[in-house]
């Protein structure tokens, strides 16, 4: 079978106040086209289908249309809920639509009840683990300590127990994998024809796994994530326990993870698909797309898993430098159609910098000044007030404080004229004009 691993669609999300509806509709079309082009048998969507618990109506309609298209293309679909989704709303009527080949895993006990798929003599077991908030589910699992690692350890243990009870679920392939030992909990209990091949076993999960790299656009789930840096699992802190160790997924044929927005290979068999489009400037250099998995080749996962590269929606670009550098014609031509973040480094904050930048970069989303003027200010604004010799000095000091540059001669003349007008105005008598 061929599997398409995708996640983090975030239908209904914007980009710094800009509507992404058209880009997300394009994303859906690209996913459906890939399923047809590669004759995908199973689509795995590992959480965060929507961006919020109450998605806009168009996003709900878009998902319904997408699921219908995937089924018309012949693919079985397995969807898990993520930390952005409402598990109850996403999973509504899941028992009914499962009969149509769309399996939504949004409840706890469904995590260790696999979707069983048989095609062309091959068996596949897909365990879809929804996002499990530890404070909500630890007690239900009979656990005293609530952490992502503890909850996932318990759930994975129950998955292994389910596998151990299944006829033919021998996991014999694990014995031949280099550097991997078969789990004692998944040994073949006995019967089954000698000609029966053991099923391929896939686990889906929505979490922060060790060695994963974060982005700005992911909502925190307890891990102290810094954008574009990786995190490790450790037992010394709650934040470390929010990072799930990769050892939990050893022995499975493939782990299809969601939550982190960059497409990432943690091991040959443990991967994040990432979001198909960019949702923050920290994703500027991330690979976007999905993973295509050929289950017949999974004894050699490096050969079995192929990255599908997609370029969907408007690209993003971070620009840092002086205003002259950023307004250089070649730079403008290259990035004028991107979503742009600009950080200026001039010695003083340039006059009308934002307006000049916005004129040539119509999709300027973020602008800030980080030049030497920030550190060249002589003391605090309170000190400037103390040193002021006139009302003009007070206003000029304020303008410099809030704009990180001294006022121009023209601006000083305007301020002086306004002050003079106030000085020469008749004194107020308390009567209303």
Span 36-62, pLDDT tens digits: 999 999 999 999 999 999 999 999 999
Q: Is the pLDDT of residue 194 over 50?
A: no
The structure's pTM equals 0.81
Mean pLDDT of 59-78: 97
CA atoms of 372 and 149, how far apart (whole Å): 45
Mean pLDDT of 209-215: 91
* Structural domains of the chain, with CATH: 2-309 (3.60.21.10), 316-424 (no CATH)
Mean pLDDT of 395-417: 81
Burial class of residue 118, CB neighbours in 10 A (0-12, 13-18, 19+)? exposed
Span 124-170, pLDDT tens digits: 999 999 999 999 999 899 888 788 999 999 999 999 999 998 854 44
DSSP secondary structure of 62-120: HHHHHHHHHHHTT-EEEEE--TTS-HHHHTTTHHHHHTTTEEEE-SSGGGGSPEEEEET
Span 237-286, pLDDT tens digits: 556 678 999 999 999 999 999 999 999 999 999 999 999 999 999 999 99
Q: At what angle do helices 409-424 and 391-403 cross, to 10 degrees?
A: 140
């Amino acid at each position: 079978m061929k599997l398409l691993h995708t996640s983090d669609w975030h239908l209904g999300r914007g980009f710094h106040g800009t509507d992404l509806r058209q880009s997300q509709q394009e994303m859906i079309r690209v996913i459906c086209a890939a399923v047809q082009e590669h004759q995908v048998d199973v689509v795995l969507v590992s959480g965060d289908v929507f961006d919020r618990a109450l998605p806009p109506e168009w996003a709900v309609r878009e998902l319904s249309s997408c699921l219908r298209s995937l089924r018309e293309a012949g693919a079985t679909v397995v969807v898990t809920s993520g930390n952005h989704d409402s598990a109850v709303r996403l999973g509504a009527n899941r028992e009914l639509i499962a009969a149509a080949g769309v399996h939504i895993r949004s409840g706890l006990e469904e995590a260790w009840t696999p979707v069983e798929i048989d095609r062309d003599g091959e068996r596949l077991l897909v365990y879809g683990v929804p996002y499990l908030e530890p404070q909500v589910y630890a007690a239900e699992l009979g656990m005293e300590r609530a952490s992502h690692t503890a909850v996932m350890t318990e759930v994975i243990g129950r998955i292994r127990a389910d596998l151990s009870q299944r006829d033919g679920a021998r996991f014999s392939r694990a014995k031949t994998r280099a550097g991997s030992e078969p789990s004692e909990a998944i040994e073949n209990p006995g019967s089954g024809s000698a000609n029966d091949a053991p099923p391929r076993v896939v686990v889906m999960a929505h979490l922060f796994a060790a060695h994963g790299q974060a982005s700005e656009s992911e909502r925190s789930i307890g891990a102290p994530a810094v954008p574009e840096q990786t995190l490790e699992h450790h037992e010394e802190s709650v934040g470390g326990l929010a990072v799930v160790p990769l050892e939990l997924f050893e022995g499975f044929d493939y782990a299809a993870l969601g939550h982190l927005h960059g497409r990432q290979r943690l091991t040959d068999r443990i991967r994040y698909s990432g979001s198909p489009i960019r949702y923050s400037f920290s994703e500027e250099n991330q690979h976007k797309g999905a993973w295509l998995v050929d289950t017949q080749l999974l004894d050699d996962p490096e050969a079995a898993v192929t990255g599908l590269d997609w370029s969907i929606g408007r690209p993003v670009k971070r620009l840092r430098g002086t205003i002259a550098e950023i307004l250089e014609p070649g730079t403008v031509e290259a990035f004028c159609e991107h979503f742009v973040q600009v950080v200026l480094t001039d010695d003083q904050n340039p006059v009308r910098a934002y307006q000049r930048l916005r004129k040539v970069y119509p999709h300027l989303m973020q602008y800030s000044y980080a030049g030497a003027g920030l550190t060249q200010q002589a003391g605090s604004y309170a000190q400037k007030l103390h040193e002021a010799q006139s009302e003009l000095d007070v206003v000029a000091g304020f303008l410099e404080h809030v704009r990180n540059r001294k006022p121009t001669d023209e601006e000083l003349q305007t301020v002086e004229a306004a002050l003079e007008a106030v000085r020469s105005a008749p004194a107020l008598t308390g009567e209303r004009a």
